[in-house]
A and B are shown apart, each in its own frame.
Chain A
């Protein structure tokens, strides 16, 4: 079955710490990969996406993600987090076979000022 797994349910960091959020997905043919962020009380916003090409993708607000095909992973990173990065982060995978966007469980990030 097509599924997406995020390793951490809740991550707590201090400002300036580095961030890495894990995301793995099940094999299902050709995929497109996304990270969305949901700030408190706001709607989902696209952070970055990978369709093809350079597996290291840069997104908004200093975020980046690396697609490792052999590991079925698409981890999100940021070298130095800020208090304003406090939000829920969702990894999502679009499986071309089936045409569905499958979301991970989400990771709540809390950044202490």
Chain B
């Protein structure tokens, strides 16, 4: 149980285009999903917290107009990288937290999406 999927797993795009990444909780409902970014040989950095039916909360330094997050249902959150540039190339990982209102519950991570912007 507690499986999180991401699609696509790999994406290569031209500079200036937009890319959408989907994160789905397959066997549980997630009122909260998280988006992280991982640079090579570095740790995961939280980008934003996505709550179903409301606006995402972005971490300091993360451009909300560039990284659009939509959490339209209890099992799906999307991250759209708008007007992507080479510096946006990275490994994007989502996680989902089951349950409602229990902050301590475990986050389950998706397999990640590797984005390469040419």
- Residues of A in contact with B (beta carbons under 8 Å apart): 32, 34, 36, 42-46, 49, 51, 90, 94, 96, 99-106
13 pairs, CB–CB < 8 Å, chain A vs chain B: A36-B109, A43-B109, A43-B110, A44-B93, A44-B95, A45-B109, A46-B108, A49-B106, A90-B43, A94-B103, A99-B49, A100-B46, A103-B43
Q: Give CA–CA (A14, B61) in the complex, Å.
A: 42
Q: Give CA–CA (A42, B9) in the complex, Å.
A: 11
Interface positions, chain B 7-52, Cβ under 8 Å from A, are 34, 41-46, 49
* Nearest B residue to A94, CB-CB: B104
Interface residues on chain B, size class: 10 to 19
Q: Give CA–CA (A78, B46) in the complex, Å.
A: 29
Q: Are B111 and A104 in contact (CB under 8 A)?
A: no
Q: Are B93 and A101 in contact (CB under 8 A)?
A: no
Q: Are A34 and B106 in contact (CB under 8 A)?
A: yes
Task: State whether the Cβ of B98 lies closer than 8 Å to any Cβ in chain A.
Answer: no
Task: State whether the Cβ of B107 lies closer than 8 Å to any Cβ in chain A.
Answer: yes
* Nearest B residue to A42, CB-CB: B111
Closest 5 CB pairs between A and B?
A43-B111, A44-B109, A103-B43, A103-B44, A105-B43
Most chain A beta-carbon contacts within 10 A, residue among B46, B95, B103, B108: B103
Q: For residue A85, give the distance in angstroms from its CB to the closest CB of chain B.
A: 19
CB within 8 Å for A101 and B104 given contacts A43-B109, A44-B93: no
* Nearest B residue to A10, CB-CB: B41
List B contacts of A90 (CB < 8 A): 43-44
Q: Give CA–CA (A89, B107) in the complex, Å.
A: 16
Q: Give CA–CA (A46, B44) in the complex, Å.
A: 15
